[in-house]
Amino acid sequence: MVFREATRLDKAVEIDAYPDRQDLNLGLLRIVKRCGTRISMGTDAHHPWQLEFIDLALAAALRAKIPADRIVNFMSLNELRAWVQGVRRAQTQRRRARNTTYERH
């Protein structure tokens, strides 16, 4: 499942709060919560007034009871940087391990 893999890789999935999109509905967000997947809230805004759509993402996260510590938007700058560095470091390690495996064959 996508959300389990995102959790394993410590990646975030986005709640797109633009009213015409809203890709992650409440049912999917409940699965996200069960899997422990991180989320990012975005508006897909093309005009400044569309930034208000963030309220829709927040409402969806609250209704799905996603913990604040799993929401990327709530991270401090230091937490965000540490998370990004950790994800990049793990990705580099996986890539090196995969390349080592290919070189052996």
* Residues 11-51: tens digit of each pLDDT: 999 999 988 886 778 999 999 999 999 999 999 899 999 99
With cut-offs at 50, 70 and 90, classify the pLDDT of residue 102: low
Assess contact for 51 and 19: CB atoms under 8 A.
Answer: no
User: What is d(CA 19, CA 11) in angstroms, rounded to the nearest whole number?
Assistant: 24
Which domain does 86 fall in, by range?
75-105
Co-location of 9 and 58 in the same domain:
yes
Is residue 103 pLDDT above 70, yes or no?
no
Q: Are residues 48 and 29 in the same domain?
A: yes
Same domain, 81 and 55: no
70 and 48 both lie in a single domain: yes
Q: Looking at the 3D structure of the chain, how many domains does it have?
A: 2
pLDDT at 25: 86
Kindly state whether residues 13 and 57 are assigned to the same domain: yes
